[in-house]
Amino acid sequence: MKELFSALYEAGEFWRAENKEIKEITRGDRKGETEEKVPVPAIEDVAKALRKYCHFTFIGIGRTTDKSPLYVFDYDTGLYSDSADLFNQLCHTFDTRVHPKTWDSIKKVVRLKTKMRPTFSDPTLIPVNNGVVNLETKKLMPFSPDYVITAKISTDYQVNPVKPLFDGKFDFDNWLSEIACHDDEVITLLWQIMNEAINPNHTRGKMAILYGEGNNGKGTFQSLLINLIGLSNVSALKPDQFMEKFKLSSLIGKVCNIGDDISSKYLDEVSDLMSIVTGDTITIEEKHLPSYEVSLKLFCLFSGNALPNARNKSQGWYRRLCIVPFNADFNGSKEVPEIKNIYLKDRQLLEWVLWKIINIEPFEKFIEPSVVTKTLDNYKKDNDFVLSWVIDVYLPEEWNEFPKFPLFLAREKMEDYLRDNGIDNPNLYGFGGKLVGHLNQLADGDFELKQGRLNVTEVNYFEGHFNTEKLKKSVPLIWNHKYV
C-alpha cells in the first residue's frame, strides 16, 4: 500500500497547490502584505481522488447495494477489504486536515459511484499467500484488483519443494496413513478435504465431520489445516452456532470454518449451514449495522466425540454430510508432542503439503470409502427414530409383508420402542408419511398411506396380537400394493 498512499499524498499536494489562494491583508500591522491560504478539500474532492487512485467495489449479487459493505483493494495483501480504518486512512493521507467527522460522508459519496461485482469464484484459481495459483497450469500469478478476493491462505506456493523428514524423526505420509488406519481410500479422502479447505471460492457441496472418541489424531489433523491456512483466516463456528442470529458475520473474509469439539447438541435449524455448504445466498446480520446478502463457499469442517442430532432428516441434509471416522487409537502410545507443536508448524513442510494438495488428481466429488458410507448410514438411523424403528422392528417382524397394516398399531409399537429407548414425548407429527417413505426405500413393495377397512381374513392376521374390534372400522392403513 506504500505506493498507493504515496500517490494519494502527491494527489493531495497537487490539489493544495492548485487551490491555494493569495490574499491581501487589509487590517492590522500586516496591512498591505499578502498571505497564502489553502482551503480544506470538500467531501466531493476527496471522494473524487479516492475513486481515481483506489479500486472500490461492492461484492454480491443483484443491483441493490444499500446494505452491502464497501470494499477497497489492499495492495499489501492482494485482497479486497471492508476495513473502515483502511478507508479512513486513505482519506487522512489525501489531506490530514480533513476532519474525521466527514470520513463517513466521503464514503457515502464514493458508494454512489461504486458498482456491484460478483465474488471471485473461479474454481481453477486458489488464492495463496504469495499470489493466485492456477490449478490447470500449476503456475503462480500475481494478485490483481481484477480478482475480487476477500480471503487467502497464509502459506506460500513453491514449485516442487522438498519434503522435510526432520532427521528421520517424522514423515508426513506415514503420519497421515496412521491416523487413517492405513486405509488408502480414507487417505485419499483426507487429501481431498485438505484441497477443499484451502479454496474459499469453490464448493463440492459437502461439509466434513471428523468423528471418533479418544486420542485418534483428528485434533492434530485440524491443527495442520489451521497452520496451513492461517489462524486469522479460519472461523470457528460449531454446527449449533449457525442458528444464532449474529454469528454468521464471523465467516466473512475467512477461507475455512473449523469447529472443534462439537457435541451431540440438538440442531433445531440447519438451513443456513446447508446454504453455506452449497454456496447459496444467506443473510448476514450484525448488531447495529444493516443486514446484507452474500454467497459464501468456504468449507465447513467439524470434529467431535459425538454427532449432533438434527430436526432436518431430509436427503438434502444427509447428502451434505461427509462423516469421517477416526478409528486410530494412540492411547498408551508414547506421546510425540513435536508432531503438533513443531513438525506440523514447519514452514517448509507446510509449503510441501500445499504443493501436494494443489497437485492431487482433480476430482468432482469426494471419494466415499466404505467406512464413511457405513458411518453415515448409522448416523441416519440414530438421527431418525422412525428409520431406526423400521430397521430394528418393522422389517424384522416382517410387517411389510402384510397387504394392509393399521397405522394406529404401527404407532403404538413405535411408542413402545421409543419408551424402551428412553425417549419420552416424541414428536410423531407426520409419522405415517415418514413410515411409508422409509418402507418404499428399504422394503420390497409399493407402499401407500390411505383410509380403508380390513376384511375378515385380514383381521384374523392380527388375532391374538392386537385389539381386533378396532380393526373392523375404517382406519388409516399402510397399503402394500404388491399384494393389493
Which phi and psi (to 5°) does residue 24 adopt? Answer: -85, 135
Check residue 465 and give its pLDDT.
59
In percent, the amount of the chain with pLDDT more than 70 equals 96
Residue 394 included in any domain = yes
CA gap 339, 344 in Å, rounded: 6
Q: Of 117, 132, 157, which marks where a domain is finished?
A: 117
Least confident of 58-67, 162-171, 443-452: 58-67
Statement to judge: residues 194 and 214 lie in one domain = yes
Label residues 327-348 b or e (16+ Cβ within 10 Å = b): bbeeeeeeeeeebbeebbbbee
Please report where in the chains the cell 497450469 appears, as a residue. Answer: 137
> What DSSP assignment string belongs to 212-237?
-SSSSSHHHHHHHHHHHH-GGGEE--
C-alpha cell at 167: 532427521
CA gap 474, 477 in Å, rounded: 9
Predicted TM-score (pTM) of the model is 0.78
> What DSSP assignment string belongs to 447-476?
EEEEEE---HHHHHTTTTTS-TTGGGS-EE
Residues 205-260: tens digit of each pLDDT: 999 999 988 788 999 999 999 999 999 999 999 999 999 989 999 998 899 999 99
Statement to judge: residues 176 and 237 lie in one domain = yes
Residues 421-437: tens digit of each pLDDT: 777 777 788 889 989 99
Which phi and psi (to 5°) does residue 235 adopt? Answer: -90, 165
Type of residue found at 453: R
Residues facing 56 on adjacent strands: 72
Residue 86 included in any domain = yes
Which phi and psi (to 5°) does residue 313 adopt? Answer: -120, 25
Check residue 430 and give its pLDDT.
87
Check residue 334 and give its pLDDT.
64
Q: How many domains does the chain have?
A: 3
Residue 126 included in any domain = no
Residues 5-54: tens digit of each pLDDT: 888 888 888 888 888 887 777 777 777 676 778 889 999 999 999 999 99
Statement to judge: residues 363 and 256 lie in one domain = yes
Check residue 332 and give its pLDDT.
62
Residue 478 three-state SS? strand
> What DSSP assignment string belongs to 350-371?
HHHHHHHHHTSPP-SS----HH
Least confident of 265-269, 415-419, 439-443: 265-269
Strand order in the sheet with 207-211: 234-235, 256-262, 299-304, 207-211, 321-325
The DSSP H or E segment spanning 93 is helix 84-94
Q: Of 314, 347, 378, which marks where a domain is finished?
A: 378
Which phi and psi (to 5°) does residue 151 adopt? Answer: -155, 150
Nearest to 240 by CA among 322, 315, 294, 311: 311
Residue 453 included in any domain = yes
Statement to judge: residues 394 and 317 lie in one domain = no
Query: CA angle at residue 391 from 385 to 393, to 5 degrees?
Result: 90
Residues 392-405 have a mean pLDDT of: 91
The residues, any chain, with a CB within 8 Å of residue 64's CB and separated by 6 or more, are: none
Residues 354-378: tens digit of each pLDDT: 999 999 998 999 999 999 999 999 9
CA gap 182, 190 in Å, rounded: 12
C-alpha cell at 152: 487467502
CA gap 113, 291 in Å, rounded: 21
> How many helices and strands in the chain, by DSSP H and E?
16, 19
Count Cα atoms within 13 angstroms, Cβ side, for 402. 24
**Domain containing residue 62:** 2-117
Statement to judge: residues 279 and 366 lie in one domain = yes
Nearest to 212 by CA among 117, 292, 329: 329
Is residue 309 over pLDDT 90? no
Statement to judge: residues 330 and 230 lie in one domain = yes
Query: CA angle at residue 116 from 255 to 69, to 5 degrees?
Result: 60
Residue 161 included in any domain = no
C-alpha cell at 431: 409419522
Residue 479 three-state SS? strand
432: Cα separation from own chain's centroid:
35
Beta-carbon count within 10 A of 300 CB: 25
Residue 214 included in any domain = yes
Check residue 466 and give its pLDDT.
60
In angstroms, the first-to-last Cα distance of the chain is 77
Q: What is the CATH number of the domain that holds 357?
A: 3.40.50
Residues 130-170: tens digit of each pLDDT: 999 999 999 999 999 999 988 889 999 999 999 999 988 89
Statement to judge: residues 369 and 407 lie in one domain = no
Check residue 467 and give its pLDDT.
63
Residue 148 included in any domain = no
Statement to judge: residues 180 and 223 lie in one domain = yes
Q: Of 117, 145, 180, which marks where a domain is finished?
A: 117
Residue 80 included in any domain = yes
Which phi and psi (to 5°) does residue 292 adopt? Answer: -155, 160
Number of residues assigned to the chain: 484
Statement to judge: residues 371 and 398 lie in one domain = no
